[in-house]
């Protein structure tokens, strides 16, 4: 056989099976477009000129790795569906005289044509929308992009090589499928159903234990560090539990329905239950995959949207003032203050809320009712981090100065204020029982020198000697003894370039060794927005890909079910079942089967919310209600999209089974 004949047969096969191959090519095209887009932006030289470019590029590379792994898994899933659908056709080729090596060559040419078509369309779409994507990135980062919009040859070559490798693996898999079975097995391969297992109880028990374990783990964690450490374990448990319960629980429910004569012996119920019962293993795996993909889409998009929308909340919490200057030298603070006022007069910068104060800033914790220096975070056990907090130690005079009101502590007490962290009822410092006095709501905010993901607590003591005594009573700090920090903080007017020019002028008027650190809020905002913008950009693409995979799995499953049910429904209609009854049966089956994953996905999102909120707290977003709102609004949008897919596939399935 000549190459021309192979090519002709391959092209004819693709045309005859276009109903199955067009969705496959569409998925490949979108995967290629996504990979090229990520690589093109990450490798663009202009990206280095952006604030927070390193963080944004890292997010793109991470997204590129995830998409590449996802592409490999999804392409193998879709290809296995296509091969199973065509086993009868390939078997007929063998019966008519074609050798296995000839069939293999035809399949290879089909894959070659698919590769060329998807690569042309995917890269073409990437090149066409290149400038639009750069504008989208600029909008997310809120900066004009100095990016080169010409085609990126490295991204083009890397994308082509990646998918050439994936298609080579697909061709190898297809060749193995053809060579490993006899022609008659190929003829009947597409009609081979799933056998009902003799027992599902072991799977049911395993699934229930894993699912409960994952949910309990997600609710048990109490701090961001433990949530991050245990998140992957909880995810694996939930995935295993979902698959096992779909495979075991669904079969058990169907058997219970079958054993209920009042329910089972009705036309729509009889057909639905009987049709699903003997193919439940295949259905269960697909439905569990749909549930997991929906959950991934909801959590990924919901959390990244919450992070990005909460950027301003995060910035204002972490940097309460536009500028904070830190020094460890008390004598230099007056010099720095005068330099700031002088620089403001020269540059025309207007200063507001200028204040100077002294504090000690450290991390403290509770253990058995005692105030302690906690061990380093790397040596903490699970949930021990929840007992720690970021402490700002102030004298009562400093607190009164910042509060703008007289304040005096009763003898033997320590002032305490925190928005979220609950102090124990009884407290010991060293071996001395101490009374905690709740402080009035502060009218000020302290600019913390070192940002953490922990709760902020103000501890107020009578004087500096009392602070020294407290620190000595706590023993040795693993991080080193907290030093006195002198802070000058203020609010500024003007945009980022004007504020940066003011800071440069301030630094030029003060001895460098006098300033320990300077934090400019506008500059930090740009860095944070770049990082969380990268999260959002990658999250949107991943969510889109997860939903695309969900839609195609639903479509493939409906097509597969439609082909298998076609002959059955024709027989039923010929013996008296009306079109209306067929349609009612179809909707009953699809409602039960395809909305179950959506309900499961929503349950998974609800169960993961506590753990996800704690992990976002590590990124300084601590508003749990805000995270929940963004997540559930995203979940609602995905549920609407899922419903649209259901309505479309229901019509496709009905057309296939109606004679």
Torsion of CA 222, 223, 228, 230, to 10 degrees: -30
pLDDT at 214 over 90: yes
Angle between helices 18-42 and 153-179 (to 10 degrees): 150
Give the span between the Cα atoms of 465 and 473, in whole angstroms: 12
Per-residue model confidence (pLDDT) at position 381: 66
Give the span between the Cα atoms of 47 and 147, in whole angstroms: 6
pLDDT at 438 over 70: yes
Least Cα distance to 591 among 301, 151, 269, 134 occurs for 269
List, for residues 548-564, the tens digit of each pLDDT value.
888 888 877 777 767 66
* Phi, psi torsion values for 490, nearest 5 degrees: -160, 165
Contact assessment for residue 457 and residue 391, using Cβ atoms and an 8 Å cutoff: yes
Q: Which residue has the higher pLDDT, 109 or 265?
A: 109
Structure-block tokens of residue 361: 């800033």
Sorted by sequence, the CB contacts under 8 Å of residue 445 that are 6+ apart come out as 320, 321
Which residue has tokens 């928005």? 419
Mean pLDDT, range 264-286, rounded to an integer: 71
Q: Which residue has the higher pLDDT, 642 or 658?
A: 642
Report the share of the chain in percent with pLDDT over 90: 12
Per-residue model confidence (pLDDT) at position 197: 46
Give the span between the Cα atoms of 427 and 436, in whole angstroms: 7
Per-residue model confidence (pLDDT) at position 32: 92
List, for residues 306-315, the tens digit of each pLDDT value.
988 888 888 8
* C-alpha distances out from residue 623 to 147, 318, 420, 491, 629, Å: 35, 13, 11, 24, 10
Question: In a 10 Å sphere around its CB, with 0-12 CB exposed, 13-18 middle and 19+ buried, how is residue 32 labelled?
Answer: buried
Give the span between the Cα atoms of 631 and 646, in whole angstroms: 22
Sorted by sequence, the CB contacts under 8 Å of residue 383 that are 6+ apart come out as 220, 221, 222, 223, 226
pLDDT at 212 over 90: yes
Least Cα distance to 489 among 305, 331, 333, 639 occurs for 333
* Phi, psi torsion values for 212, nearest 5 degrees: -65, -40
Count CB atoms within 10 A of the CB of residue 640.
Answer: 9
Per-residue model confidence (pLDDT) at position 508: 83
Q: Which residue has the higher pLDDT, 77 or 276?
A: 77
Q: How far apart are the first and last CA of the chain?
A: 39
Structure-block tokens of residue 562: 């439609």
Per-residue model confidence (pLDDT) at position 158: 92
pLDDT at 300 over 50: yes
Least Cα distance to 627 among 610, 604, 643 occurs for 610
Q: Which residue has the higher pLDDT, 363 or 433?
A: 363
Rg (CA), the chain: 32
Out of 12-26, 37-51, 532-546, least confident range: 37-51
Give the span between the Cα atoms of 648 and 659, in whole angstroms: 19
List, for residues 562-608, the tens digit of each pLDDT value.
766 666 667 766 777 776 776 676 666 667 777 888 999 999 999 99
Beta bridge partners of 341: none
Structure-block tokens of residue 2: 């000549």
Give the span between the Cα atoms of 504 and 343, in whole angstroms: 9
List, for residues 111-136, the tens digit of each pLDDT value.
999 999 999 999 999 888 888 887 77
Mean pLDDT, range 376-387, rounded to an integer: 66
Give the span between the Cα atoms of 25 and 21, in whole angstroms: 6
- Domain ranges (residues) in the chain: 1-192, 196-319+521-659, 351-492
Report the share of the chain in percent with pLDDT over 70: 83
Measured at the CA of 427, the angle between CA 422 and CA 432, to 5 degrees, comes to 160
SS3 label, residue 144: coil
When the pLDDT of each residue in the chain is averaged and rounded to a whole number, the result is 80
For residues 577-595, b (16+ Cβ closer than 10 Å) or e, as one string? beeeebbebbbbbbebbbe
Least Cα distance to 21 among 9, 31, 13 occurs for 13
Give the span between the Cα atoms of 55 and 88, in whole angstroms: 51
pLDDT at 506 over 50: yes
């Amino acid at each position: 056989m000549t190459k021309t004949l192979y090519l002709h047969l391959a092209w004819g096969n693709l045309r005859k099976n276009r109903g199955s191959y067009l969705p496959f090519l569409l998925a490949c095209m979108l995967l290629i477009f996504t990979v090229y887009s990520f690589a093109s932006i990450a490798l663009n030289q202009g990206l280095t000129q952006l604030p927070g470019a390193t963080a944004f590029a890292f997010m793109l590379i991470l997204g590129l790795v995830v998409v590449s792994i996802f592409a490999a898994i999804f392409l193998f899933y879709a290809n296995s569906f296509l091969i199973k659908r065509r086993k009868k056709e390939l078997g007929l080729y063998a019966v008519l005289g074609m050798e296995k090596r000839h069939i293999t060559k035809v399949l290879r040419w089909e894959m070659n044509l698919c590769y060329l078509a998807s690569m042309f369309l995917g890269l073409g779409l990437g090149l066409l929308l290149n400038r639009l994507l750069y504008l989208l990135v600029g909008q997310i980062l809120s900066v004009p992009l100095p990016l080169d919009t010409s085609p990126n040859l490295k991204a083009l070559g890397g994308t082509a090589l990646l998918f050439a490798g994936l298609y080579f693996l697909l061709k190898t898999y297809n060749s193995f499928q053809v060579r490993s079975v006899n022609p008659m097995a190929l003829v009947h391969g597409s009609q081979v159903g799933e056998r009902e297992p003799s027992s599902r109880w072991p799977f049911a028990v395993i699934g229930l234990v894993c699912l409960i374990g994952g949910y309990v783990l997600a609710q048990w964690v109490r701090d961001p560090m433990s949530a991050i450490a245990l998140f992957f374990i909880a995810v694996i448990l939930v995935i295993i539990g979902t698959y096992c319960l779909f495979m075991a629980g669904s079969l058990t429910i169907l058997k219970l329905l079958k054993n209920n004569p009042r329910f089972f012996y009705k036309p729509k119920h009889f057909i639905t239950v009987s049709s699903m019962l003997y193919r439940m293993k295949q259905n269960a795996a697909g439905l569990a995959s749909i549930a997991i993909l929906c959950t991934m889409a909801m959590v990924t998009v919901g959390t990244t949207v919450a992070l990005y929308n909460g950027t301003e909340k995060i910035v204002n919490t972490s940097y309460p003032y536009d500028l904070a200057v830190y020094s460890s030298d008390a004598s230099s603070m007056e010099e720095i203050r005068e330099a700031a006022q002088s620089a403001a007069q020269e540059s025309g910068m207007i200063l507001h809320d200028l204040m100077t104060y002294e504090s000690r800033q450290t991390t403290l914790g509770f253990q058995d009712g005692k105030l302690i220096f906690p061990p380093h975070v790397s040596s903490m056990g699970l949930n021990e981090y929840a007992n720690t907090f970021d402490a700002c130690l102030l004298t009562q005079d400093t607190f009164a100065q910042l509060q703008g009101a007289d304040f005096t502590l009763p003898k033997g007490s320590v002032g305490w204020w925190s928005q979220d962290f609950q102090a124990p009822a009884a407290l010991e410092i060293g071996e001395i029982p101490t009374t905690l006095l709740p402080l009035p709501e502060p009218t000020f905010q302290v600019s913390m020198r070192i940002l953490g993901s922990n709760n902020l607590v103000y501890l107020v003591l009578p004087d500096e000697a009392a602070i020294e005594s407290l620190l000595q009573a706590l023993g040795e700090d693993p991080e080193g003894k907290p030093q006195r920090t002198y802070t000058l903080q203020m609010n500024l007017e003007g945009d980022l370039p004007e504020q940066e020019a003011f800071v440069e002028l301030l630094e030029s008027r003060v001895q460098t060794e006098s300033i320990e650190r300077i934090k400019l809020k506008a500059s930090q905002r740009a860095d944070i927005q770049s990082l969380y913008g990268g999260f959002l950009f990658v999250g949107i693409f991943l969510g889109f890909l997860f939903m695309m995979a969900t839609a195609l799995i639903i479509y493939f499953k409906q097509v597969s079910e439609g082909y298998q049910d076609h002959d059955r429904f024709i027989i039923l209609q010929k013996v008296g079942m009306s079109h209306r009854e067929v349609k009612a049966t179809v909707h009953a089956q699809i409602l039960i089967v395809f909305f179950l994953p959506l309900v499961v996905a929503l349950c998974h999102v609800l169960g993961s919310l506590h753990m996800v909120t704690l992990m976002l707290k590590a990124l300084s977003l601590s508003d749990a209600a805000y995270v929940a709102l963004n997540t559930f609004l995203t979940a609602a949008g995905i549920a609407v999209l899922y419903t649209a897919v259901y309505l479309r596939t229901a019509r496709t399935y009905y057309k296939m089974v109606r004679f």
